[in-house]
Amino acid sequence: MSDAKAKRATTSAMIASIADADQRRSAAPFGHALVALAEERSEVVGLSADLSKYTDMHVFAEAHPERFFQMGMAEQALFGAAAGMAEVGLVPFASTYSVFATRRAYDFLCLDSAEPGLNVNVVAALPGLTTGYGPSHQATEDVAILRGMPNLTIVDPCDAIDIAQAVPALADVPGPTYMRLLRGNVPVVLDEYDYRFALGAAAELRSGRDVILISSGLMTMRALEAAQRLAEDRVDAGVLHVATLKPLDLDTIGRLARGDRLVVTLENHTVIGGLGESIAAGLAFAGEPRNIVPIALPDEFLAAGALPTLHDRYGLSTDRVVERVKQALAA
Amino acid sequence: MADVTTHVDEVRTRRVTNAALGIRRSILQMAEVQGQGYVGQGLAVADVLAVLYFDRLRYRAEDPEWEDRDRLLLSIGHYALALYAALGEAGVLDKSELPTYGADDSRLPMSGMSTYTPGMEISGGSLGHGLGIGVGMALGLRHQGRNAHVYDYLSDGELDEGATWEAAMAAAHHRLGGLTAIVDVNALQADGPTANVLKTESVTEKWRAFGWAAHRVDGNDVPALLAAFDAAQREDEHTPRAIVCDTLVGRGIELLENREKAHFMRIDDDEWATCRTQLEERYAR
Ligand SMILES: Cc1ncc(C[n+]2csc(CCOP(=O)(O)OP(=O)(O)O)c2C)c(N)n1
Ligand SMILES: [Mg+2]
């Protein structure tokens, strides 16, 4: 094929990187963090449903083969077994893709772990739009599915540092947790800021007079880039990183959303039932309703395609974020 | 009479074998454009797909929605590459479209989607769905008095999913002779060899225990495959059938047959030409 090379740029392959070419990265931060935690806590175990290699769990499986349990491609049995292990006093981390954790196995997380309040930690790769492989693998509504589950803690880390610091914190939570995992070579961003992951606390990474960008997950990376670009146009944008989606730090959010700054939420998730709606509802319920510009995925089954193409098409790329903020400021 | 039968079998075998070569050529062509794809799996199932499209399925290439067609459900959505190649060979897709595989806005996404591709009956990608849908289609077609047959193509990995066995039980309960499960046993899944991930053997006995008529065959031996499909067809008309096909990942290309088996088979840029040559050499024999 003479034109083979030219076409490769548009691959919709499942293994796509969210890192830009020039970004610093760290390999398998979750796997290494779990290994480190396991040295300190003998009750930590790992499970996967035929996806250890694709959720960075293989790092743990190689370091502690006797503490890793392969459940086969059976996500319901995965969560059932994780609950059983927690019942007898272990602290399981169970990994699969976000779509299968939420769409297929919900009931087995809800009744087996959340209701009894067990320490089961779900590690879910490919959250939101982090693969170009099409709707079967794009967990665009995982948070919407899970937010209504009582007792469940939900975290959406931004980078390798966030992930590494979240892992021990999740094990410390007595009840079940769900982490939206960035896997493989994960960008390193937050070490440039005065930041430490603290469960349930939103963190102001950057202050700004004109706009406040409230973001979670990889969109915090985009928010920080967008804020820098906006500064070049003399728009002063702050960034509030909300790594814990549930319980939501409404105190901090409410404080920073007050005043006349433009409030923008950014999430790697459908506009329905995620960060933006949680904040809008939370503020309104507290008697402090705000106008919010929601940057999120549309309420659609998304296309297959190359990830950069799709992030651009659906509004998650830094270019599109900057554009959207400028439009809102002009309006 | 014996001579006539032998001749017919030879004609069928030749037709299917030629189609399998065409399918393998297209698989290589599409995968080379992307530099990747489930090539190993695709090459492994080319013979079964050739049997289906060139000996078994009743379909109209120019009218893929023909309502009395037999249905082939690709429960293994990640094998889409192989099905596109077969649809190209069968004339449902124009072969000139195949190189768009995996490109933005292509009708041929890397994971099978019924909304994108003519001839793709279901949207796959999430494994373990096909058999349940197959049960519904077989029930529905029977209810409507149509005798179209439903084939669900699933993998050994999909035997891990509870949903597969829920559907298997339903098929036997509803006496769905109009349903055939084709199980691709390549002894491989995402985390490694099936035997290490989750032991599924003995596969044939499991289907029988669930009330199915089960046959096991070398999925890369065309005459044996034709015989197995013929035998399955002769089963009791109220019994669903399983054809368990043992296949070799990378089949037809020596370089890939001998490569360490992996869910994503690595093929380096400079290896595609060798793959093409080796495929032609194998079939020239
Ligand atoms: C429900 C579900 N769980 C997990 C996956 C991720 N996954 C994709 S392919 C695969 C391996 C399944 O086994 P098999 O189909 O036998 O794999 P292969 O022979 O292609 O290696 C897995 C676990 C999936 N697609 N669907
Ligand atoms: Mg397999």
Specify the residue with its C-alpha closest to ligand 1, atom 22.
B190
Whether residue B81 contacts residue B160, with contact meaning beta carbons closer than 8 Å, is answered with no
Q: Report how far residue A244's alpha carbon sits from residue A276's, in angstroms, rounded to the nearest whole number.
A: 13
Give the chain B residue whose CA is nearest to the CA of A58.
Answer: B191
Let me know if A291 is exposed, middle or buried by CB neighbors in 10 A (0-12, 13-18, 19+): exposed
The answer, yes or no, to whether residue A17 has pLDDT greater than 90, is: no
Residues of A in contact with B198 (CB under 8 A): 50, 70-74
Question: What pLDDT was estimated at residue A185?
Answer: 96
Give the chain A residue whose CA is nearest to the CA of B107.
Answer: A304
Q: Report how far residue A187's alpha carbon sits from residue A218's, in angstroms, rounded to the nearest whole number.
A: 9
pLDDT average, residue stretch B219-239: 98
pLDDT tens, A106-137? 999 999 999 999 999 999 999 999 999 999 99
Question: What pLDDT was estimated at residue B35?
Answer: 83
Domain positions in chain A = 21-187, 200-330
Q: Report how far residue A109's alpha carbon sits from residue A303's, in angstroms, rounded to the nearest whole number.
A: 29
Task: Characterize the bridge pairing of strands B192-193 and B188-189.
Answer: antiparallel
Q: What are phi and psi of A6, to 5 degrees?
A: -60, -35
Q: In percent, how much of chain A has pLDDT > 70?
A: 95
Specify the residue with its C-alpha closest to ligand 1, atom 13.
B157
Residue linked to tokens 């939570």: A173
Q: Report how far residue A236's alpha carbon sits from residue A211's, in angstroms, rounded to the nearest whole number.
A: 6
Q: Report how far residue A163's alpha carbon sits from residue A156's, in angstroms, rounded to the nearest whole number.
A: 9
Helix, strand or coil, per DSSP, at residue B80: helix
| Distance (Å) of CA A2 to CA B24, B82, B95 | 19, 22, 17
The answer, yes or no, to whether residue B226 has pLDDT greater than 80, is: yes
pTM for the complete prediction? 0.96
pLDDT tens, B162-188? 999 999 999 999 999 999 999 999 999
Q: Would you give the DSSP letter of residue A93?
A: E
Q: Report how far residue B160's alpha carbon sits from residue A164's, in angstroms, rounded to the nearest whole number.
A: 31
The answer, yes or no, to whether residue B48 has pLDDT greater than 50, is: yes
**Nearest ligand 1 atom to alpha carbon B128:** 1
pLDDT tens, B54-99? 999 999 999 999 999 999 999 999 999 999 999 999 999 999 999 9
pLDDT average, residue stretch A37-62: 98
Q: Report how far residue B67's alpha carbon sits from residue B83's, in angstroms, rounded to the nearest whole number.
A: 20
Q: Which ligand neighbours the alpha carbon of B261 most closely?
A: 1
β partners of residue B189: B192
Q: Which CATH class is domain A21-187?
A: alpha beta
Give the chain B residue whose CA is nearest to the CA of A6.
Answer: B33
Helix, strand or coil, per DSSP, at residue B110: coil
pLDDT average, residue stretch A244-251: 98
Question: What pLDDT was estimated at residue A10?
Answer: 62
State the Cα torsion A195-A198-A199-A205 to the nearest 10°. Answer: -30
Closest among B216, B128, B141, B130 to B174, alpha carbons compared: B141
**Per the CB < 8 Å rule, is A136 touching B157?**
no
Whether residue B26 contacts residue B84, with contact meaning beta carbons closer than 8 Å, is answered with yes
Binned at pLDDT 50, 70 and 90, residue B37 comes out as confident
Check if A15 has its Cβ closer than 6 Å to any atom of ligand 1: no
Whether residue B138 contacts residue B150, with contact meaning beta carbons closer than 8 Å, is answered with yes
The answer, yes or no, to whether residue A9 has pLDDT greater than 80, is: no
Domains and CATH numbers, chain B: 4-283 (3.40.50.970)
**Residue A26: its H or E element:** strand A25-27
Residues 6+ apart with CB under 8 A from B62: B91
Type of residue numbered A102: T
pLDDT tens, B191-205? 999 999 999 999 999
Question: Which residue among A7, A103, A305 places its CB closest to the CB of B33?
Answer: A7
**Per the CB < 8 Å rule, is B158 touching A73?**
yes
Binned at pLDDT 50, 70 and 90, residue B285 comes out as confident
Burial A22-61 (b: 16+ CB within 10 A, else e): eeeebebbbbbbbbebbeeeeebbbbbbbbbbbbbbbbbb
**Per the CB < 8 Å rule, is B110 touching A134?**
yes
Q: In what order do the strands lie in the sheet with B71-74?
A: B71-74, B150-155, B179-185, B241-246, B213-218
Q: Which fold has domain A200-330?
A: Rossmann fold (3.40.50)
Q: CB B6: neighbour CB atoms within 10 A?
A: 10
Question: What pLDDT was estimated at residue A4?
Answer: 44
Residue linked to tokens 């179209």: B148
**Per the CB < 8 Å rule, is B102 touching A11?**
yes
Question: What pLDDT was estimated at residue A14?
Answer: 67
Residue linked to tokens 């069928």: B12
The answer, yes or no, to whether residue A8 has pLDDT greater than 60, is: no
Find which of A55, A60, A136, A300 to mutate to test the B interface (most B CBs within 10 Å of its CB).
A136
Mean predicted lDDT score pLDDT of chain B: 96
Helix, strand or coil, per DSSP, at residue B184: strand
Check if B193 has its Cβ closer than 6 Å to any atom of ligand 1: no
Tokens of B224: 């044996």
Residues of B in contact with A14 (CB under 8 A): 110-111
Distance spanning both ends of chain A, measured CA to CA: 49
pLDDT tens, A143-163? 999 999 999 999 999 999 999
Give the chain B residue whose CA is nearest to the CA of A75.
Answer: B161
Give the gap in angstroms from C-alpha B177 to the nearest C-alpha of chain A. 28
Mean predicted lDDT score pLDDT of chain A: 95
Question: What pLDDT was estimated at residue A268?
Answer: 98
**Nearest ligand 1 atom to alpha carbon B190:** 11
| Distance (Å) of CA A304 to CA A66, A248, A309, A310, A311 | 39, 32, 10, 8, 11
Whether residue A317 contacts residue A308, with contact meaning beta carbons closer than 8 Å, is answered with yes
Specify the residue with its C-alpha closest to ligand 1, atom 9.
B190
Helix, strand or coil, per DSSP, at residue B158: helix
pLDDT tens, B255-280? 999 999 889 888 999 999 999 999 99
pLDDT average, residue stretch A281-302: 97
The answer, yes or no, to whether residue A37 has pLDDT greater than 90, is: yes
**Per the CB < 8 Å rule, is A11 touching B109?**
no
